[in-house]
Amino acid sequence: MKKVNLAIIYYSSTGTNFQMAKWAEEAGRKQGVEVKVLKVKELAPKEAIASNPVWEKHIELTKDVPEAKSEDIEWADAILFSVPTRFGNIPSQMKQFLDIQGGLWAAGKTVNKVVSAMSSASNPHGGQEATILSLYTSMMHWGAIIVPPGYTDDVVYPAGGNPYGTSVTQGKDGKMVETVEAAVKHQTKRTVDIAKRIKSSTD
């Protein structure tokens, strides 16, 4: 069987979802798959970014991370998304990226992609679950196969017990409140495992 291709596509303004993407990358490589970590294009105006030194610093830190393109979706067997919540929805940066995939969708090239999603917010009930579910709605339209972590491993509980996807609270100090590294890695492993099964059945 050919190796599974895993695209980890994220948006992060201050680094939380970037860190989650990096943990997912580590887990994916441990599973022996081809991995790409990709950011979506930043759409915020420069003055908004400049008003937040942490945001500005993070953009500089990740300037060499490649931007996700349609070709990456087509390449991937599995896609793991990581996004912060914006009023209980996905950020406009990720929304635009999804919205411009109409050509792939029309050509049937999003069908049977194995997908899963993670999120973050500044408080425990800040919209993480709604954000993940909102992203999954788009995936249903894509004809993708959604793989949530559910309660398939005990590592889900210290991370807050979100069955839809790993979610974390970013404290006022900028650090993650919950312990989520193990949950991210489990979610990645589960996503890859399902992708391997599907790919082996179609090879």
**pLDDT band (50, 70, 90) for residue 203:** low
* pLDDT for position 184: 98
Name 63's Cβ contacts closer than 8 Å, sequence gap at least 6: none
pLDDT given for residue 175 in this prediction: 87
> What's the whole-number mean pLDDT along residues 97-107?
97
Residue 33 has pLDDT above 80, yes or no: yes
Split into its structural domains, the chain has a count of 1
Task: Give me the DSSP letters along 119-154.
Answer: EEESSTTSSHHHHHHHHHHHHHHHT-EE---TTSSG
- Chain segment 184-197, per-residue pLDDT in tens: 999 999 999 999 99
What pTM was computed for the model? 0.96
Q: pLDDT tens, 138-193? A: 999 999 999 999 999 999 999 999 999 999 999 888 888 999 999 999 999 999 99
CATH number at residue 97: 3.40.50.360
The stretch 97-102 carries a mean pLDDT of 97
- What was the pLDDT predicted at 202? 76
- Domain residues for the domain of 73 are 5-202
